[in-house]
Structures are given as structure tokens and as C-alpha cells.
Chains A and B, each alone.
Chain A
Amino acid sequence: MSRIVSVWLRSWPIARLLQAQARTAARSPADPVDPERPLVLVAPGKGGTRLVTLNRAAEQSGLVAGELLANARSKVRDLQSRPADPATDAAALRRLALWCLRYTPLVSPWDEANGADGLFLDITGCAHLFGGEAGLLADLAGRLRRFGLRSRLAIADTPGAAWAIARYGKSDRVIVPSGDAEHALVDLPLAALRLPDDTRLLLRRLGFRRIADVIHQPRAPLAARFGAHFLDRLDQALGSASEPLSPLAPPPVYRAQAMFAEAITTQEHVVEAATRLLHDLAEDLARDGVGARKLRLLLFRTDGGVLSLTIGLAAPSRDARHIADLIALRLDRLPRGLEADFGFEAAGLHVLTAERTPERQTLLAVADDISDPAGLSHLIDRLEQRLGTESVRRLHPHQSHIPERAVLVRHAGDGPSAEWTSDVPSSARPLLLLARPEATEVVALIPEGPPRQFRWRGVLRQVAQAEGPERIAGEWWRQTDNEIERDYYVVEDAAGRRFWLYRAGLYGRGGAPPQWFVHGVFS
């Protein structure tokens, strides 16, 4: 007979959200939820957005799952709502299940039919390691509480019985002695059998409420009315039908360790050791068709200290030489050097993030083709190791009529995003925009004539040709006061040099006369 722990995590999606919020609070304090006030998770449903999950405060305000968000708002002022995110919830539940592998190798997160808000742990033969079943439950409950999770736990012979007791049992921690399931279950409501809503409703309409009401009824008429599934669920709970758990497979981890016969102290030796470890890993990586995106190098000092370095890559790679180069560059940047003291006696290299690498035809000829993306990403990697991350940037197109807002600066490692769009509605744009528009004196016909001559950087230039104006108004929805209309002109001076000038503001609108600026030069 197996022994199953059932862990029910109450309001799991909300608990998950709050955990995520606590983790990111430092970085983005914007828009936090207050767990003490009513909070609901919502999803689009029939007739509009409906509540999916509620926190305790929301339940106490009389809200129920399934009702329309609009109605809920009319009942509760300042109702906090966030979109439900079942995929993230499931992923987080999976991570928690991974963590539970510390208790037993057989852990199974609940699927939809089970509510997707808990875990089964098959602890058959494991409990003694944690001081028996009671000890295990106490340990598990304590740790979950420290994670900020409210849980209800039960141990029984079958997943069905354990699930039922965790959800509907009398207390938060119940151990059902082996072979005692029926006794423990009879008083529970029929909902404890994990039945579909329509079956539950029908049973209720017919007056059946507890498991005791159906347990000894003739089976054929029940099957005729509620289907075979109903009897299956009953049998699964009582242990007369088996219910296999689908165990969670641990994710692949790439890890290499090395012990040194003699402690190493120099950077050269460290790089050498790291290269060896990389070669060890490369085989596994190549087998799985992935490359490392993020690595951690651990150097264990003889005195018990650990030096830990994290290295990120712009593109997944398993090129040992390239990564070793990066490690070397990284070591160069250590503020206090290697601090090897008595030397390192062991090293470990962990691949923290691995990503699939596209297989590429290797070049027959050696080429230093600048358009080679791998070459570019290696360059970015090297620059970043030398200058620090975030210091290499890449321009991205952005749809804005305001010229200086038409590009966004992003971290180079993000890779090129969208194509530069070709249907920019505006006409000529200079290749080089000045970092800041520079004021200039202009002679022009009022109100909208193009410049006749202008003085810029001390040189007076006569305008030979001009086109314009192109009028660009400010982005009124921005809360800055610097959103004045500009009239842009492309002008060409007598020497054939072309400039991009604008006048900020229009004549005849009162106030000070508009000012002129040079904003760019055409090549």
C-alpha cells in the first residue's frame, strides 16, 4: 500500500502573484497589490470579464468566483484586479514541485481535474528520513509557510483520499491511518470526490450530500445516472481502483566539477581549469543541441570560501575557447583580483540557462565576414566583459513623428528586434541628427518662408535651395511642456552642403518670436 501526501495550496494563483511581487518589488515598485485588501484574478468569460480567484479579503466582501468583474466592482470599491495567468501559475507550481523532490523522487503537480493548485507526493518508504509522517508534514508545512504559502496537508493511502481530506478535512494537517480511508471519507461532502460541476449539481438536486449517502447504494442505477466516471472517482478515493500519478521529470542540468591535486592560485591556471570543465560540458551540450546562455563558475578555496562568477552571453554558445576568453576578461575586471589566498582546491561550472542553438553550416574558408551574426555577438560579449554589461547598446526603430524619438536605445544583447519600417510617412531625414538641436540665427520670410541665410557654429551660410516646411506637432499626451510645433526645412547652402533646420513655434501666435535650430546634417 502506498502513502500519498496531498498538498493543497489555498488561493495558489494569488499566492504565486504575491511571491512574484515580493521578488520584483525592489526593481519595479510600480503598481503593487495590497494583499490585505480585496484582490481578484480575472479572465475573460461569458458576457465579460469574470472573477477566477479571490483572496481572503475579497471572499469576505461577499464576492464569489465566476461573477462578472463589473458586478464585483459595484459591490466593492477599490477592488484590485489582475489578469489570471494559468500558464505562469502552472510553471510556478512545477518549480515548487521540483523543490519538493527533496522529500521524495515522486512528485506530481495537480492537473486541471484536481484544481491545479496543489501537489501529490508519493512518500512510500521515505517518511522515516524526516522523522515519520508527522515529522514530514510538520517540516513541509513549516517551509511552505516560510515561502508565504497557506497550505492544507493530508496523508492517506490513495491520491483520491488524500486530496479529499486536504480539501475538505477537519484540520490543516491530517494523517489517515493506512486502510482507514472509508471511515475518514464518509462524512465529507460529495465534492470531495473531484466530480464535474454538473454531476455535483445533479447529486445535490437528488438529495445526496455526503459520501456516506452513496457509498452503499446499488451501483448499477448510480452508473446509469451519473456515468462510470462517478464510480471510478468513488473507488479511487476508497482505494479499490488505482490512480497512477504522473511524476515530474527533473529538468536537465549541465554541471561539471573538478578537484585539483594541488591548489591553484593564478589566473592562468583558473582559465585552464575552466576550459577543461567547458570541454567536459560541451559534449552534453552538443548532444542536446543547446548552448550556454548563462554560466556560473564556482571556485572553492581551501579555507572554505567560494568565489562565484556569473557570465552571460549574447547568444547561446558551447565554444569553449570563446567562453574561456570571456572568463579571462571577467577575471581581469575583479576589483580586488583573484584573492586566491591559499589557493583553490576545486572548481565547478554550472550552466544556469541553456538555449537551443541553430545548427549552421560551418564555413569552408576562414572569413572575417562582418555581417556574421556569431561574430557580432562575440564582439558584443567581449566588449561587455571589458566594459561591463549594459554598456553596449543597439538602436531600435520607434514610430514617432518627433525625430529624436524615432529611435530607441536598447541593450545590445537583446538582439535586433523589428525591421526598420519602410513606410515612414515623413519625407527626408538626415543620416546624422545632432545630439541636441543647436540654436541658430536665421533670416527668413515671415510667416513660413524657408531660411534665406543662417549662421551656425560661427559660419554664415547662404541658402541656395530649400524645401519645406514639414510641420511636426508635439506629442500632446506626454506630460512635458516642451511639445511645441516645429517647422522643418531641408536647405542646401551655396557650397552644396545640406542641413536640417527647424523653427520652434509659428509666427503670429503671440509671445516671443519663434527660435531657429539646426537639428541635423545630410551626408
Chain B
Amino acid sequence: MNDFAELVAATNFSFLRGASHAPEIVQQAAALGLKAIGIADRNTLAGVVRAHVAVKELDIQLVVGARLVTTDEFEAVCHPTDRGAYGRLCRLLTAGNRRAPKGECHLSFDEIRAAQDGQIFIVMPPRVLAPSFTERLAALASAAPGRVHLGASFLYRGDERRRLGELAELAVQARTPLVATNDVLYHDPTRRPLADVLTCIREKCTIAEAGFRLEANAERHLKGGDEMARLFAQYPEAVARTLAIAERTRFSLEKLRYEYPEEPVPPGKTPQQHLEERTWFHATERYPEGVPEKVQTLLVKELSLIAKLDYARYFLTVYDVVHYARGQGILCQGRGSAANSAVCYCLGVTAVDPTKVDLLFERFLSEQRKEPPDIDVDFEHERREEVIQYLYERYGREHAAICSTVIHYRPRMAIREVGKALGLKEDVTATLAGTVWGSGGEEIPDKHIREAGLDPTNPQLRLAMSLTHILIGFPRHLSQHVGGFVFTRERLDETVPIMNASMDGRTNIEWDKDDLDALQMLKVDVLALGMLTCIRKSFAFIERHYGQALSLATVPPEDPAVYDMLSEADSLGVFQVESRAQMSMLPRLKPRKFYDLVIEVAIVRPGPIQGDMVHPYLRRRNGDEPIDYPSPKLEEVLSKTYGVPLFQEQAMQIAIVAAGFPPDEADKLRRAMATFRHTGTIHTFREKFVAGMVKNGYGRDFAERCFNQIEGFGEYGFPESHAASFALLVYISAWIKRHHPEVFCAAILNSQPMGFYQPAQLVRDAREHGVELRPPDVNLSDWDCTLEPASDCAHRCAVRLGLRLIGGLAEAQAKEIVAKRNQGYADARSLWIRSGVPTTTLERLAEADAFRSLGLDRRAALWAVKGMDGGVPQNGAARAARPILTWSDSGDLFAETPVALPPTTLGEHVAEDYATTGLSLKAHPCAFFRAGLARRGVITSCEHRDERLKDRRVSVAGLVLVRQRPGTAKGVVFLTLEDETGIVNIVVWSKVFEANRRIVMTSQFLLVRGRIQREGIVIHVVAEEFADLTGEIRRLHSDDTLSPPQEPAAPLPERLLKSRDFH
């Protein structure tokens, strides 16, 4: 057995070059008995952490490095020998990244030489050994004596003996000893086809055109010591030298072991003392009547663990961020596992009272796990940027950055690119890509391919599919994470390379969250949540118009009226429970207390639904089924959910209590569940779990079932703590909607885009709750929606829609109009002159019918606006000339012959309202067709609620609001229709869907015939037949009979309403 270390191996983080995952390389290297494996990706360290993790359980040394490639193609693999050299490598790559466009790294030879201190180089010779190369080799060797080597590979090009001789001679001349390497691109020769396809993707050509850009053979795989010794039989020292180099590069990523940034701590105190003091201080704020004993116990336990693990500075960091936000009036709330911590609650990071829900601290922080805790904090989506800027300012760009997200090949993209490389027709790849709904699927089953009209046995197709299958999951590029911040004490750019993000001026590091986790670096997720914005705006309205000051903590709790409303499924716009699935669950669950909302949030999730836990839970809750517990111990765990496990914590506790897992092992199980589709480690736990339960006296059958259930919802289940954090926002948003529907309506419209519904539905819902709504108007509206005194002098305000609802209107110009209007504009011309906005903006306002206060309807207004600058498109000269006209602020300068404009019908108004603002306060489009619909036997949404119609066959019709085809529903499509009286929920079974695919997928206005299914107040129409009425919409524009049928499709297809489609 000859010893050997491969020091030049690329992973697939050498994008579109490396054809193996880092773990594959490392595992194969270990299997071949290599002493060390050197990962060297092209100008990046993005893949090294994965290798670092993979190597942990193997008997092989990892050598961390990068392959530096200059802009003029000098290539040297660089392996740092110590922390300092590693820092220099990071800074070198950072500099190269920062000056190049995103995804590129521009290095020069001089920079590499300048960063040589402590590095070991293996210079990779080009095909032709030009003098310029030998000069550089010598130059680098004299700069870093004894640390520069010349890489030699045996790649079966035919002339190896001559080439190795030349290299050996060069090595002697330049004093750069020869080092044997196979310049690895993949772990196994079977990856050659994929490597070739990657080359094609990179070179944007097909495999038939690629020619000599492809390698001639499959030799660039990992090779064992014996084979390398045979290939380098004449140069045994080149093989032996690899071991010496590995010996010298003892730098490990372990050395980056995190040190948290210093937090300002009052003098004379340790961070731990400071944290404890703050915690107890705020605890008394949280519990003015005295801190309950349970909480005290928890705090003591948590604080001692924090002390032991030395995480105090981390908690202080998060505390600081949250405090900053509070001080700025920015709403925020911690979510996720942090809500399991009483310390976090007391510090104000989370809002869930540990006395109200069961907390499982192990889920958040465990001694054995040796991982820093993971705290995610949601901020108002409109103001998150302020928090981010604060973090940059506080820690500096040298110590704080956003981490990256690795964008992986998803099935659609993979099949597209593989298909293109193999020269498949665009039609075919598009069809194949189309067979994957969403992005989750792993392998496309033959059945789908056949359904798409292709032959799965076609060899060309088979080849494409099998290559696609390998490519799925490959990293494609790095992107910026939505809000994962990393903090370091050392200079960040000496810890990890920093790169440009696609957004101007933004940067992120090359590692993603998992990498940071693995290296135990400190990170905080600064996330954006639209509902927090909506709640803050609601609180502001309530305080201003009704004089009541509220905060997340002071909204009156446990209000029965709120629960009544939710039990009626009256939850449109309410956080988390507004979806159709939630709406049909609410009347069944009938929440009466806060904890019911926690369950409501958690139960309508793919996990519990797939794990078949919903119905047992409901039956037991309604008393239709006896609640039994297999053991008293499990009763403790499961009693609050009537014996049905719903939360991740419960799964962990079952493992602890019933299967005898130690807590940290239970946490590993949770992680395995979350990722079992990818790593397949779950089965190792299955046996242990089942055996453990059997040993503790449970039936094997029961144990198996238990595990299956856990497995079923593992991936999509919520932790209880997370559900509890969300439930609080459910309650608060429901409280606002219940007591101040006008405030809720205005606030949620001002926070768009967010949530599940569009302004039209939010407005309709508000009107149904008795809110008076007024249209946007140039003299009366602000940019945002506002509240005005109501006309009926009732205590409740009316909502004046803001100009923001008008599509395509620039915010700055709308605000200009508002700012310059003083006592109001007298006519269109003075509006134009005084506000200084371009006529295109005024046109938009006219089209939205916002000139009513000036006595102009939309046509009259449009006519007036169009005549303002002589029909000439606005240009710079005309704008500049305008101020001269201000002396005659009032009337027109010249009289025009009046033109009789055709009157606008109500139908046209409604259609135009939808086209410009997405809603109409004048009428619902369906109302115009009601007579015709009635003749066809169509009933309204209101009528279909009649209990006597249960199980009867009816026809309904309406605008299509939402189409959903959830992955959990086996091809079933859910449609939501709306008519002038309300909403109709349609269920389309997959068979019916396939037969009516086009109509279901494309109709805007749809007639459905089907059977009414009813459970309590939850009503569905199970579709049997469809009629597409979309063409009717055009008839809103009066009698459109004048276009002969031959007229080609209208150039501007009218789209009343863009449905929201979730595939």
C-alpha cells in the first residue's frame, strides 16, 4: 500500500466544473485510503465547510484551500498552514470578489505573491509551458522559498512521459519540487458524463458542439495511492511529497471556533452577570405581580446552562437588537425555537409566556449539542432595513455581514439545462420541466413523462433524466440570505471571503447558515413580517382616532368576541388563519382560548395532514372518540393535544420518555426528520426508537406507528414554540379586525403586498362588516389609506382609499400632489400646473376615476388631461416651459370646441376600476351578468349557503380569486370564486381537473356545476362541469358586437383580476 494525499480536488462549488459533492469526494478519498484530501475550489472557500463536516467521522485529514486562478490564467492551489495564512487567503479572495461582478473573482499574480506568507502553493502548469509561466513560477518560488511546488498530473494524454520529464526539469530549475496530483474534478469516473454536461452548460453549447472543450477521457477522478505510485513510478518522491505537505498544512476550520463580539458590559461585570441582572430586572416587568415559581426555576436552569456554555454575549447581542427596534417603535417578535426560552421571554425577544405553553429548552439549547442557539426575530417588513443598518453601524462591516444562501439546482432548472446541453428540443425540455409541479420533487416518475406525451424508454430521454437526477441538488450559485446576520470578533474578511451581492452595495459571505452552524458562529436571523407592519399601523390608527394606546403585550387577552369571530371562519386578512384550509378548520376546531390558536396554527400544516393527525384530534376534541394514552408517562407529553402528537417537541419527548433517548439524541432525531428526504439518516433512528419503546413495555406495532407518525410530519411540523409565537399575532390581528374592522382594512391595505388576499377581497370583507369605503381622489386621498369621519356619524370612521391602490402610480408623484394641494385643486389644469407632475401621472389618475371631486368622471378627466400639452408626449422642454404658465393658474389659455364624449356605462366604470385599482366600489362585475346567469340556473354565493341545498347539485359562477394545487392533495385543485354576494369554494378532483385542465387553469370568470358538500358552516362545491365565461367580461364594455368574429384577439386582453395561483 503506497501512501498518498490528493491535494487538488474540486467540489461542485467550483461551479460548472466540479462534478461531485464535497462529502462524496471526502468519503471516496477515505475509502481509497488516502492520508489526506485537499479541497481546492476555484477562487472560493464556499465548499470547504461541507467537506469539514463530512470529514469529522472519517479517518482522513482535510486540507483546506482554494485554487487561485488569475485573470490571465495563472493557476496555483493555495493551502494555508495556519490561522494567519488562512486569514490572508480570505482577504485575497475578498479583494478579488469585491472588485468583480457577482459570481466572479478577479485576481492578479502580484496579489497572490503578496499573500504568500504561510501558504503552501501547488502551481498547476498550463498545457504549454511558456516562458511567462516559468518566470512566474520562479518568482513565486523566490518569494515563498520552500513552499512552492509544481503540480504534475498523469491524465493519459499520450505524452505524459515527455511532459513529466519537462516538468521535473522545470521543477529543479525553479526549485519547486514536483507534487503528484490527479487534478480531481469528480470522485468517481462514472461522473464523466455529468462533468461533460457541466462543461456544456458553462460554455453554453450542446454536447455535439462542445468538441475539444470536453475532456478526452474520464481520468480526472480520485485515485488511490497504489495507482498514483504506478503512474508516477519514475518520480516516487512526487507522490511521497504529498504526505509531507499534508503534514505541514495542519490548519483546520476548527480554529475558527467562534468568539462572540464584545458586548458593552458595565465596568466591573462579566457578560454573564450583566445578562442575569437584565433578565431578572425584565422578569419583574413581565410579571408585575411577582415572577411565578415555575418561571423562576426555568430562568435559573437556563441561566446556569448559558453560563456553562458561555453564550451570555450572544443573548446580550440579540437583546441589544430587540431593544434598538423597540426604541425606534419598530414592532418585533422572536419566533422559532427561541420561544422555548424563558430568558428570551423576559428579555423581550419573544412574546410567548412560558407559563402558558410548555417549553422544551432542549429544543433551543442543549449542552451536548455544542451549538450556539438559533434566534430568529421578525421585524415589520417595511422597517427591517433600519434594523439592518443599525447592525452594520454597531458592529461595522468588518464584523457583521449577511450570510449566503446556496441556490441549488431544482428539478425544473436541472432538466432545462441538461436538456439544452444534450441538444433536446426546447419543446421537450419544457414539457419535462412542466411535469414537475413546484420545486420539491426529486425524481420525475415515468408516469408523469408518459402523461406529458413523451416516451420514458427513449434512450436520449433516459440519459437526460438520469443526468438531471444527479444534477439536482448541486449548488448553482450563491445568493444573499434574506436576513441571516453573522457577527465575528476578528475581522470578518479574515474568517471567510466576502462577495458582492446582486443588490448594489450589498455584500455577503461565502458561507450559508448551515456552514455557520457547523462552525458554531454567531448568527441572528433578522426577518421581515408583513403582519407586524399591519399591526403597528393599526395601533397608530387606533391611538389617533380612538385614543387607545396599544402594544403587542397590552391588547386585551382572551376576548370571547374574538374567538366567536374566528369560530365563524370570519378570518379574512387575519394572520396565518386566513387561508382556505385554515378557514375550513376554524369552525371545526372552534377556538375558545389562546392555546387553541396555537393548535390551529400547527395543525393545518402538511405534516399533521400527511401524518393523518387532524381527524383523530378533532374527534377526540369533540368527544366523538375516547382519549387513551398508552402509558401515564406519555399522557404527560400528549395530554394537551388529546393524545395526538402535533408538535415537534412532542415527537422529541416521545423519543425521550418512551424510547429512552437522551435529550440531545432526540434533537438529532428531529434534525434527521427535518432533512430525511435528503440525507436518509432517519432509518438509523427507526430501529433505535422502536427497540427503545419495546424495551419500555410498549407494543412493537404501536411503536412502529408512533415512528411513522413522527416521520410523517417531521419535515413540515411546527415546533410548539413557533406556533405559539404565531398564535399571538393571530390573536392580535383578529382582535383588531373584530373591534376595528375599518382600522384593520386601512392598515392591511397600507401594508400591501402581504397575505393571501388582494385589495378587492379585503375591501369587500370590510364592507360586509359595515365599514364605509370611499374611492381614491386627487383632492381627498393621501398616498396611504386614511380614516375619515363617517357620513352616518356613527362612532366608526370611514376608510378613504389611498392613491397607492392605483396601479402604476409613482409614490413620489402621488406624494407631490398631496403636498401641493393646500385647500384643494379647483380643476384639472391647476392640479397639473401646481403639482408639477407629468401628464402621464394625471392620466393614470384619470383612468382610476380619481377626479370626481373636480366634477369630472374618468372620460372627462382623461380628455382634459390629454389636451393639456397639446397631445405631445411630455418631454423635457415642455416641462421646463410649464412654470411660465403659472400666472394664469386658473383657466385654459384657449378655448376648445367642446367634444361630446360617449357616456360611460356602469359596466365600463367597473371594468376600468378593476383595471386601474384592482377593485371597484361601484359594483361587482358579476352583478351585470346576474340576469343571464340566473337564466342558466346559476345561484349566488349567498344562496348556496342555504342548508337545504346540502348534497344537491347546483351551478355557481364568479371571478376566480385563487387556484391552489397543494402537493399534499394528490392532484386536487382548489378554486376560490367570488360573486357579488361572497365567496364560493370549489374542489376539483384530479380526474375532473385533467379533463378540464385548460378551463380550470386559465378562466378568469368561471361557471361551475357540482354538488354541494357541507360540514357545519364549511361549504364546498365539488366540481363536475365547467363553463368558461371569461369572454363575457368584455361585454362590460357595452355591447361589443361590432367586432366581427374574424377580428384577431383584442390587442389588450382585458384582465379584470389577476388570480393568485399556487402550484
- Please state if B998 and A223 are interface contacts (CB–CB under 8 Å): no
Q: How far apart sit A217 and B452, CA to CA, in the bound complex (Å)?
A: 56
Q: Which residues of A contact B282 (CB under 8 A)?
A: none
The yes or no answer to A485 lying at the interface (CB within 8 A) is yes
Known: A427-B159, A428-B158, A477-B422. A218 touches B216 (CB 8 A): no
Interface residues of A in 160-188 (CB under 8 A from B): 167-170, 187-188
User: B459: nearest residue on chain A (CB-CB)?
Assistant: A479
- Please state if B422 and A471 are interface contacts (CB–CB under 8 Å): no
Q: Which residues of A contact B463 (CB under 8 A)?
A: 477
Which of A56-64, A140-148, A335-343, A455-463 has 4 or more CB atoms under 8 Å from chain B?
A: A56-64
User: B1051: nearest residue on chain A (CB-CB)?
Assistant: A197
Q: Which residues of A contact B193 (CB under 8 A)?
A: 476-477
User: Which listed residue, A197, A424, A467, A469, touches B212 by the CB 8 Å rule?
Assistant: A424
- Please state if A221 and B896 are interface contacts (CB–CB under 8 Å): yes
Q: How far apart sit A74 and B1063, CA to CA, in the bound complex (Å)?
A: 11
User: Which listed residue, B157, B896, B900, touches A220 by the CB 8 Å rule?
Assistant: B896
User: A226: nearest residue on chain B (CB-CB)?
Assistant: B871
- Please state if B903 and A223 are interface contacts (CB–CB under 8 Å): no
User: B999: nearest residue on chain A (CB-CB)?
Assistant: A62
- Please state if B217 and A70 are interface contacts (CB–CB under 8 Å): no
Chain A nearest CB, measured from B991 CB (Å): 16
The yes or no answer to B513 lying at the interface (CB within 8 A) is no
The yes or no answer to B875 lying at the interface (CB within 8 A) is no
Q: How far apart sit A468 and B453, CA to CA, in the bound complex (Å)?
A: 49
Q: How far apart sit A75 and B1001, CA to CA, in the bound complex (Å)?
A: 6
- Please state if B212 and A471 are interface contacts (CB–CB under 8 Å): no
Our count of residue pairs bridging A and B at CB distance below 8 angstroms stands at 165
Interface residues of A in 438-472 (CB under 8 A from B): 467-472
- Please state if A61 and B998 are interface contacts (CB–CB under 8 Å): yes
Chain A nearest CB, measured from B542 CB (Å): 40
Q: Which residues of B contact A398 (CB under 8 A)?
A: 211
Known: A221-B896, A425-B157, A476-B192. A207 touches B216 (CB 8 A): no
The yes or no answer to A487 lying at the interface (CB within 8 A) is yes
Q: Mark B414-427, 1 if CB is under 8 A from A, else 0.
A: 00000000100111
Q: Which residues of A contact B900 (CB under 8 A)?
A: 217
- Please state if A221 and B192 are interface contacts (CB–CB under 8 Å): no
Interface residues of A in 201-228 (CB under 8 A from B): 201-202, 204-210, 213, 217-218, 220-227
Q: How far apart sit A488 and B859, CA to CA, in the bound complex (Å)?
A: 82
The yes or no answer to B1052 lying at the interface (CB within 8 A) is yes
- Please state if B158 and A206 are interface contacts (CB–CB under 8 Å): no
- Please state if B216 and A64 are interface contacts (CB–CB under 8 Å): no
- Please state if B127 and A189 are interface contacts (CB–CB under 8 Å): no
Known: A75-B1001, A473-B216. A225 touches B1049 (CB 8 A): no
- Please state if B207 and A477 are interface contacts (CB–CB under 8 Å): yes
Chain B nearest CB, measured from A521 CB (Å): 17
Q: How far apart sit A276 and B870, CA to CA, in the bound complex (Å)?
A: 70
Interface centre among B196, B212, B870 (most CB of A within 10 A): B212
- Please state if B1042 and A209 are interface contacts (CB–CB under 8 Å): yes
Known: A202-B866, A213-B902, A401-B212. A73 touches B431 (CB 8 A): yes
Q: How far apart sit A113 and B641, CA to CA, in the bound complex (Å)?
A: 70
- Please state if B871 and A426 are interface contacts (CB–CB under 8 Å): no
Q: How far apart sit A473 and B430, CA to CA, in the bound complex (Å)?
A: 31
The yes or no answer to B899 lying at the interface (CB within 8 A) is yes
Interface residues of B in 892-923 (CB under 8 A from A): 896-897, 899-904, 908, 912
User: A76: nearest residue on chain B (CB-CB)?
Assistant: B998
User: B903: nearest residue on chain A (CB-CB)?
Assistant: A207
Q: Which residues of B contact A62 (CB under 8 A)?
A: 998, 1002, 1028, 1030
Q: Which residues of A contact B1052 (CB under 8 A)?
A: 197, 201
User: Which listed residue, B453, B870, B896, B1048, touches A77 by the CB 8 Å rule?
Assistant: B453
Chain B nearest CB, measured from A105 CB (Å): 31
User: A72: nearest residue on chain B (CB-CB)?
Assistant: B1002
Q: Which residues of A contact B1043 (CB under 8 A)?
A: 168, 189
The yes or no answer to A65 lying at the interface (CB within 8 A) is yes
Chain A nearest CB, measured from B948 CB (Å): 36
- Please state if A471 and B899 are interface contacts (CB–CB under 8 Å): no
The yes or no answer to B434 lying at the interface (CB within 8 A) is yes
Interface residues of A in 48-85 (CB under 8 A from B): 54, 59, 61-62, 64-67, 69-70, 73-78, 80-81
Q: How far apart sit A351 and B327, CA to CA, in the bound complex (Å)?
A: 89
Q: How far apart sit A225 and B899, CA to CA, in the bound complex (Å)?
A: 12
Q: Which residues of A contact B452 (CB under 8 A)?
A: 77
User: Which listed residue, B156, B207, B902, B1044, touches A207 by the CB 8 Å rule?
Assistant: B902
The yes or no answer to B167 lying at the interface (CB within 8 A) is no
Interface residues of A in 460-505 (CB under 8 A from B): 467-473, 476-477, 479, 485, 487-488, 490
Q: Which residues of B contact A10 (CB under 8 A)?
A: 1046
Q: Which residues of B contact A94 (CB under 8 A)?
A: none
The yes or no answer to B968 lying at the interface (CB within 8 A) is no
Known: A152-B1046, A213-B902, A473-B192. A426 touches B897 (CB 8 A): no
Q: How far apart sit A476 and B463, CA to CA, in the bound complex (Å)?
A: 10
Known: A80-B427, A202-B866. A189 touches B904 (CB 8 A): no
Q: How far apart sit A406 and B192, CA to CA, in the bound complex (Å)?
A: 21
Q: Count residues of chain B with CB under 8 A from any CB of chain A.
A: 70
- Please state if B196 and A476 are interface contacts (CB–CB under 8 Å): yes
The yes or no answer to A200 lying at the interface (CB within 8 A) is yes
- Please state if B459 and A471 are interface contacts (CB–CB under 8 Å): no
Chain A nearest CB, measured from B861 CB (Å): 10
- Please state if B1042 and A206 are interface contacts (CB–CB under 8 Å): no
Q: How far apart sit A479 and B460, CA to CA, in the bound complex (Å)?
A: 8
- Please state if B998 and A75 are interface contacts (CB–CB under 8 Å): yes
Interface residues of B in 862-890 (CB under 8 A from A): 862-863, 866-867, 870-872
- Please state if A206 and B862 are interface contacts (CB–CB under 8 Å): yes
Known: A206-B859, A468-B158. A223 touches B871 (CB 8 A): yes
Q: Which residues of B contact A54 (CB under 8 A)?
A: 1049
Q: How far apart sit A400 and B211, CA to CA, in the bound complex (Å)?
A: 5
The yes or no answer to B1047 lying at the interface (CB within 8 A) is yes
Q: How far apart sit A494 and B1043, CA to CA, in the bound complex (Å)?
A: 91
Known: A62-B1028, A168-B1044, A467-B161. A220 touches B897 (CB 8 A): yes
- Please state if B871 and A81 are interface contacts (CB–CB under 8 Å): no
Known: A81-B427, A469-B158. A224 touches B1048 (CB 8 A): no
Q: Which residues of B contact A428 (CB under 8 A)?
A: 158
Q: Mark A310-337, 1 if CB is under 8 A from B, else 0.
A: 0000000000000000000000000000
The yes or no answer to A242 lying at the interface (CB within 8 A) is no
Known: A77-B452, A189-B1042. A473 touches B998 (CB 8 A): no
Q: Which residues of B contact A152 (CB under 8 A)?
A: 1046
The yes or no answer to B847 lying at the interface (CB within 8 A) is yes
Interface residues of B in 1007-1063 (CB under 8 A from A): 1028, 1030, 1037, 1042-1044, 1046-1053
Q: Which residues of B contact A425 (CB under 8 A)?
A: 127, 157, 212, 216
Chain A nearest CB, measured from B832 CB (Å): 15
Q: How far apart sit A468 and B155, CA to CA, in the bound complex (Å)?
A: 11
The yes or no answer to A112 lying at the interface (CB within 8 A) is no
- Please state if B212 and A221 are interface contacts (CB–CB under 8 Å): no
> Which B residues are within 8 Å of any A CB, using their own CB?
127, 156-159, 161-162, 192-193, 196, 207-208, 210-212, 214, 216-219, 422, 425-427, 430-431, 434, 452-453, 459-460, 463, 847, 858-859, 862-863, 866-867, 870-872, 896-897, 899-904, 908, 912, 997-998, 1001-1002, 1028, 1030, 1037, 1042-1044, 1046-1053
Give the top 7 A-B pairs by smallest Cβ distance, nearest first: A399-B211, A470-B158, A471-B156, A207-B902, A218-B897, A401-B216, A225-B866
Question: What are 15 residue pairs bridging A and B, where the CB atoms are less than 8 Å apart in the complex?
Answer: A62-B1002, A62-B1028, A74-B434, A168-B1043, A206-B866, A208-B902, A210-B1042, A224-B896, A225-B867, A401-B216, A427-B157, A471-B156, A471-B217, A473-B216, A477-B208
**Beyond known contacts A62-B998, A218-B899, A424-B212: 14 more, CB 8 A cutoff:** A66-B1053, A77-B453, A168-B1043, A197-B1052, A217-B899, A221-B896, A221-B897, A227-B871, A399-B212, A401-B212, A427-B159, A428-B158, A470-B159, A476-B192
